[in-house]
Structures are given as structure tokens and as C-alpha cells.
């Protein structure tokens, strides 16, 4: 009898164990295959892995289920098909964006015009004129040259009508900005051999990634094809940021894992650009590293490694116009490491220091080729000296 009772108890325990295992197995399977409406896109995934990697209850089972569903998502989801944007035409962009410049900088022009219109142009007035020019970050040399030219020309002029003064000021400012410089971004190989390589450099936060993305749009608007290289591997978010710019206009982005060798990513981007037969490879670089020496060494290495496949056609130094003299100091440091061939001056929409255009060109001996005039996708304009001076002086 006792044997029978023991047998029955053992049978019940065995049966419940089997039942429990079957239920667990079923649950696991259900977690692996999600109905389509519950699957996440790769973008959601990134968010999940980055900002909210912990499932709501944080339990081991929830973690298991989350990773299971991610596996399914990654295998099944293609890159989301977003409608490609059509960037605005580049011709006349500075004219279109002129109000952005004028908003902060026309005060300088207006101030100068009202000073020059005074009945008597005495020493005090000339000093005031000098002060206005210096506060616009024009720099000492160019300020003195301009004041000298204005003194001579106003003396010759005798009576001074507002129109005459405006024309005179425009003419002299234009000379300083130098319309004779070649401001084309070298983004197309003349011989048609391989992609032109454009390296974008600068310290952190100046607007490198944004400018790289906007420049891709400028080139695509001009009918070119582009591959983007995310050689800022210091933060994974940097590559995501660049890839988003690329996706919007259908440009391929080559990226590496966080912490990957930036030179290898740049090399691979150029290789891929060659393979795809595109016109331009645009390489975004890091602006922030543990040490300043590290940053410069890395930039030098990126350039050398890329050059194994052919020359770098353009090295654009991105400078933030609001940083004034500090920008000039940065420019000197970069010049030691790479031959800068052009300057992209960003955030000119937020400053009355438009004079920096002249100062930085003098400092580096290379032209400002692009200006950033806002955070919008098409707020980057090829630099046009006459339109720039017009915006400053008005009329």
C-alpha cells in the first residue's frame, strides 16, 4: 500500500515537471517570433541599445526576451525606406540666407555708415570707426588698412552722399575679402580618376558633422554622388548623426564600431567610394579626444592612411565664427598638422563678428569656401564675397 502511495506521489511530481518544461519552452518560442506590428525598426533598436538598454522590469527573463526580439528584428528588418529629400539648389544660397547674416552683422555696416556720414570726420570719429571694425573681429591689420583707405577716399570725395558712402564702403570691404580667391570646394577630380577626397577637420562642437552632412547636400544638389566616412569613432552617436544626414539624401555612410581606428574607417570610405564610382568621399573626423596631441596625431594619421589610395583633394577646416580669436588659435594648430585648403565658417547667423572672414583668410592664407548660417539642412552656402559684403552694408 505504502509503495502504491509513493508511486502515485512520484508520478504527480514527474508530470508537473514535464508540464512546467513544456510551458517554459512555449513561452520562449513566443518571445522569439514577434508579430510584425510589434517588431522594432533598426532605429528603435539603436535607441534601445543606447538610451534605454534595460527592459522595463530589468529581470533576467525580460532581458532574455528583449535580446531575442532584437535578434529577430536585425535579421528581418531592412533599413527603413524613407523618402529621399531634394536639397535646395546651391546657386544664390548666400543671397537667400542673407537675412541671417544681416540680422547680426548689418549693425556693423549701419554703424560704419552713420559714422562716415558725420559732418566732420575728426580723429575721434576715425577712432570710433576703428573700434567698430575691431569688435567685428576684422583684426588689427585689415582694420588699419580699411581706415586708411576710407580716410583717403572720403577726403577726395568732398561732399558725401549716403549712396556714395555705401558704395565706397562696399568696394573697400570687398577688396579685403578678396574676390579673386578660388573658392571652389575641390570635390571633383578633373581627370575623372577616382573620387575626390574631402577631409573635414576642426575642434569639438564647431559644426564638423553638420557641415559634412550639409556639404553632401550641396554636392548632391549640384548633381554629384557622395560617400560619407564617419571617421569620428570616439562616440557611436557621431556615426549615427552622420549616417542620418546620408540617409536623408541617399548617400552611403561607411562607419566602424565605437573606438575603431579612425584611419581605417577613412581608408575604407575612400575604397568604397572608388568601388561605387562616386564623385566625392567626404570624411568627418573627431573633434574630441582625451588629449589635444592625440587629436592632432590622429588627424595626421587619417590623412596619411587615406593618401595610400591617392591624394586628399581638400582639407576643410571648420571654425565657429562665434569663437573669435580662439578660432584663429585653433587654425594655427591645425595648420601645423595638415595643409588646410579651405575654411568652412559656421554659426555666422549667430554673431555680429563677420569680420572674422577676413581675419582667418589672412591668418591661414586660404579662402573661406563655405559659410554656415543656421541649423537647417540647407543652411550652408558657398561663400560669395559680393553677397557677403552686400549683406553687411545693406542696400
Ligand X SMILES: Nc1nc2c(ncn2[C@@H]2O[C@H](COP(=O)(O)OP(=O)(O)OP(=O)(O)O)[C@@H](O)[C@H]2O)c(=O)[nH]1
Binding site for ligand X (CB under 6 A): 202, 204-210, 232, 238, 287-288, 346-347, 349-350, 372-375, 379
Of the pair 132, 200, the CB lying nearest Mg ion is at: 200
Is residue 391 within 8 A of residue 360, CB to CB? The reply is no
What is the Cα–Cα distance from 378 to 249, expressed in whole angstroms?
12
Residue 117 touches which of Mg ion, ligand X, none (Cβ within 5-8 Å per kind): none
Of the pair 202, 342, the CB lying nearest ligand X is at: 202
Residue 341 touches which of Mg ion, ligand X, none (Cβ within 5-8 Å per kind): none
What is the Cα–Cα distance from 136 to 71, expressed in whole angstroms?
56
Of the pair 87, 202, the CB lying nearest Mg ion is at: 202
Q: What's the closest the beta carbon of residue 372 comes to ligand X, in angstroms? A: 2
Angle at 203 between CA 201 and CA 205, to 5 degrees: 110
Q: Scan for cell 573661406, then name that residue.
A: 368
Q: What's the closest the beta carbon of residue 233 comes to Mg ion, in angstroms? A: 11
Q: What's the closest the beta carbon of residue 104 comes to ligand X, in angstroms? A: 11
Q: Which of 76-84, 85-93, 182-190, 205-213 is the region at the interface with Mg ion (rule: CB under 5 A)? A: 205-213
Q: In what order do the strands lie in the sheet with 196-201?
A: 252-255, 226-231, 280-285, 196-201, 314-320, 342-346, 368-372, 380-382
- Orientation of helix 42-50 relative to helix 236-249, angle to 10°: 160
Of the pair 150, 238, the CB lying nearest Mg ion is at: 238
Residue 202 touches which of Mg ion, ligand X, none (Cβ within 5-8 Å per kind): ligand X
Q: Beta-carbon neighbour count of residue 62 at 10 Å?
A: 14
Residues across the chain:
395
Of the pair 39, 96, the CB lying nearest ligand X is at: 96
Q: Please give the residue whose beta carbon sits closest to ligand X in the complex.
A: 372
Q: Please give the residue whose beta carbon sits closest to Mg ion in the complex.
A: 209
C-alpha cell at 12: 504527480
Residue 347 touches which of ligand X, Mg ion, none (Cβ within 5-8 Å per kind): ligand X
Residue 350 touches which of ligand X, Mg ion, none (Cβ within 5-8 Å per kind): ligand X
- 351 lies in the site for Mg ion, by CB under 5 A: no
Residue 210 touches which of Mg ion, ligand X, none (Cβ within 5-8 Å per kind): ligand X
Q: What's the closest the beta carbon of residue 348 comes to Mg ion, in angstroms? A: 19
Residue 228 touches which of ligand X, Mg ion, none (Cβ within 5-8 Å per kind): none
51, with CB counted inside 10 A (0-12, 13-18, 19+), is exposed
Q: What's the closest the beta carbon of residue 232 comes to Mg ion, in angstroms? A: 5
3, with CB counted inside 10 A (0-12, 13-18, 19+), is exposed
Mask 8-27, x = binds Mg ion (CB under 5 A)?
--------------------
Helix (H, G, I), strand (E, B) or coil at 124: helix
Q: What's the closest the beta carbon of residue 379 comes to ligand X, in angstroms? A: 6
Phi then psi for 232, rounded to 5 degrees?
A: -95, 95
- 209 lies in the site for Mg ion, by CB under 5 A: yes
Residue 375 touches which of Mg ion, ligand X, none (Cβ within 5-8 Å per kind): ligand X
Cα separation values, 141 from 127, 134, 137, 359, Å: 15, 10, 11, 9
Helix (H, G, I), strand (E, B) or coil at 81: coil
Of the pair 216, 238, the CB lying nearest Mg ion is at: 238
Query: How are beta strands 368-372 and 380-382 bridged, if at all?
Result: antiparallel
Residue 137 touches which of Mg ion, ligand X, none (Cβ within 5-8 Å per kind): none
What is the Cα–Cα distance from 370 to 265, expressed in whole angstroms?
25
Q: What's the closest the beta carbon of residue 286 comes to Mg ion, in angstroms? A: 7
Binders of Mg ion among residues 232 to 261 (CB under 5 A) are 238
Angle at 15 between CA 9 and CA 21, to 5 degrees: 140
Phi then psi for 31, rounded to 5 degrees?
A: -70, -25
Of the pair 124, 375, the CB lying nearest ligand X is at: 375
Binding residues for Mg ion, rule: CB under 5 A, are: 208-209, 238
Amino acid at each position: 500500500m505504502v509503495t502504491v502511495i509513493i508511486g502515485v506521489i512520484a508520478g504527480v511530481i514527474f508530470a508537473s515537471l514535464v508540464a512546467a518544461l513544456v510551458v517554459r519552452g512555449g513561452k520562449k518560442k513566443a518571445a522569439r517570433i514577434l508579430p510584425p506590428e510589434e517588431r522594432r525598426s533598426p532605429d528603435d533598436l539603436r535607441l534601445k541599445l543606447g538610451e534605454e538598454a534595460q527592459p522595463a522590469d530589468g529581470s533576467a527573463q525580460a532581458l532574455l526576451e528583449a535580446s531575442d526580439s532584437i535578434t529577430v528584428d536585425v535579421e528581418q528588418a531592412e533599413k527603413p525606406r524613407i523618402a529621399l529629400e531634394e536639397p535646395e539648389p546651391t546657386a544664390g544660397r548666400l543671397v537667400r540666407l542673407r537675412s541671417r547674416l544681416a540680422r547680426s552683422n548689418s549693425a556693423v555696416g549701419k554703424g560704419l555708415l552713420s559714422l562716415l556720414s558725420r559732418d566732420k570726420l575728426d580723429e575721434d570719429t576715425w577712432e570710433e570707426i576703428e573700434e567698430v571694425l575691431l569688435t567685428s573681429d576684422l583684426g588689427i591689420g585689415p582694420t588699419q588698412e580699411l581706415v586708411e583707405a576710407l580716410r583717403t577716399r572720403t577726403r577726395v570725395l568732398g561732399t558725401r552722399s549716403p549712396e556714395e558712402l555705401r558704395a565706397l564702403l562696399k568696394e573697400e570691404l570687398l577688396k579685403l575679402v578678396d574676390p579673386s580667391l578660388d573658392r571652389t570646394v575641390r570635390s571633383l577630380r578633373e581627370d575623372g580618376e577616382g573620387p575626390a577626397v574631402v577631409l573635414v577637420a576642426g575642434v569639438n562642437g564647431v559644426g564638423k558633422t553638420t557641415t559634412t552632412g550639409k556639404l553632401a547636400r550641396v554636392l548632391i544638389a549640384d548633381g554629384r554622388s557622395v560617400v560619407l566616412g564617419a571617421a569620428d569613432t570616439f562616440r557611436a552617436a557621431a556615426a549615427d548623426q552622420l549616417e542620418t544626414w546620408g540617409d536623408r539624401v541617399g548617400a552611403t555612410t561607411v562607419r566602424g564600431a565605437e573606438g575603431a581606428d579612425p584611419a581605417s574607417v577613412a581608408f575604407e570610405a575612400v575604397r568604397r567610394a572608388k568601388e561605387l564610382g562616386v564623385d566625392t568621399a567626404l570624411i568627418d573626423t573627431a573633434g574630441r579626444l582625451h588629449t589635444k596631441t592625440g587629436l592632432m596625431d590622429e588627424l595626421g594619421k587619417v590623412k596619411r592612411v587615406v593618401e595610400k589610395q591617392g591624394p586628399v583633394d581638400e582639407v576643410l577646416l571648420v571654425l565657429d565664427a562665434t569663437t573669435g580669436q580662439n578660432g584663429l588659435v585653433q587654425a594655427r594648430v591645425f595648420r601645423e598638422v595638415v595643409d588646410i585648403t579651405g575654411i568652412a565658417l559656421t554659426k555666422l547667423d549667430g554673431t555680429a563678428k563677420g569680420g572674422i572672414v577676413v581675419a582667418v583668410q589672412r591668418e591661414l592664407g586660404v579662402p573661406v569656401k563655405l559659410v554656415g548660417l543656421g541649423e537647417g539642412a540647407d543652411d550652408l552656402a558657398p561663400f560669395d564675397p559680393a553677397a557677403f559684403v552686400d549683406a553687411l552694408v545693406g542696400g
